[in-house]
A and B are shown apart, each in its own frame.
Chain A
Amino acid sequence: MIEQLQTYFQYPFVKYAFIVGTLIALCSSLLGVTLVLKRYSFIGDGLSHVAFGAMAIGSVLHLTSNNLITMPVTIGAAILLLMGNESRKIKGDAAIALISVSSLALGYMLMNIFSSSANVSGDVCTTLFGSTSILTIQIKEVWFTIALSAVVILVFIIFYNRIFGVTFDENFAKATGIKTQFYNLLIAIIIAIIIVLGMNLVGSLLISALVIFPALSAMRVIHNFKGVVILSTCLSVFCAISGLLISILASTPVGATIVAMDMLMFFVCCAVGALKK
């Protein structure tokens, strides 16, 4: 088995996959706690469907990189959803459900009508559940991921204390003069970036799992914010790496395997949390 892995690691694309997988796992878990506690997880879900729709448009237009269209569209949708949520004109949940279902339907339709490939359902499946595409990733996309991950991590560290304040008690922060609107926007934009990055790894249906699971797992065993953030990134990276290894060795689908590992760790953490009590 070790030998088998050694031969695999001689190929650059396997190395790329591990670099990209680790970075995406790290970034996606950073904001998990915030997402769960601010009740933003549904926004994450909605955005991933929007990203799917944008991806479909991208493949119809034969863009050189789908990121050119998915990134701006998803960020735009994140901003809109957040504003909508605050103005309360349209009920937040309903708006998100509408947008997300519409993007799914439109995306699927576009791919069906305009696809040049013979295997449409294969393509759709790939976009929804991720694919082996992480193993065919180009060096250009590796750099793209590295650059954006660096931005996400840096922003998170610099604004760590503000993100904590706005997540724990938005009204208190606002009453003492913190620009909470701005930080909510910042959080939404980071979520959008993470979702677009994560789609490469696990596909648009499973990306929410990558964001939410590590945070929920860590919250079972640790009871302070910093600890939860650190443990959830460790868990996430561990699950991504082990999931990738398993999927290479056992030829299982990459995204689903990683999410299955996340699920497994969640049950382990639940058990540990129950034992501690």
Chain B
Amino acid sequence: MKPAPFEYLAPRTVPEAVSLLARHGEEAKLLAGGQSLVPLMNMRLARPRRVIDLNRTQGLAYIREVNGALRIGGMTRQATLERSPVIGGRCPLLPEALALVGHPAIRSRGTIGGSLAHADPAAELPAAIAALDGQITATGPRGERTLPATSFFLGVLTTALAPDEVLTEIALPALPPRTGTCFLEVARRHGDFALVGVAVVVSRRSDGACGHARLVFCGVGPTPVRVARAEALVSGRRPDAAVFAAVEGLVRETLQPDGDLHASADYRREVAGVVARRALTTAWSRTNHG
């Protein structure tokens, strides 16, 4: 048998899950889709004494739309989101990013909350949720608190979640009219974590200029990296090929990725500029349909 022995707990409600976490503290681990935790347990890199399985906890898997804003339960499966007509209609960035997360069999089980809580620096969903100005709700013994995605990710595999908190909901504000989005990445193989990826959200104002703009990268730092200066470069203008090329240059100069076994720092910087230009060009062209 691969994992070390553990006690299995399957709370039926969120308060029950929270009180189990509070009681068992660092000895316990929440189990969502298991697509990151169970590999670590099989390799015994994680040896929780108690596993608190959220898969039988009620009220954590849902997609709700209220006036264009979305509320997504933490245990909503990646595959469910990918196929949801509501998500596809309101937020096509998510299915585009989700198609790049592992493989269908990974997304059958993997959850959005698990991906955010795990906070892999190369993961697609944290960058996408940050680019969408998402808000993350954590529920603990002292109740609920909500924080913006941008202050949720603190470092490699590290978030603002306290050890006794459950990530219960992700809220995405309604996008402005005429918004275009795009997620692009370069990976070694289809389904691998990104070497570099980018989530772009841009809106066209009624006067034809770009209003709202977000560019958030994955794979180039310990957390999702937002490049506000690139956003400022497009915002307020009618961006054209020259502006997109300027963004490419700025991104290449601004980002400071580390090199590793898979790609050198220089290569990542180069690719980040290119995917930024391409994704921005595509996202802007999509504002015509919004």
Q: Does B associate with A? A: no
Question: Which residues of A line the B interface, CB within 8 A?
Answer: none
Residues on B close to A: CB < 8 A? none
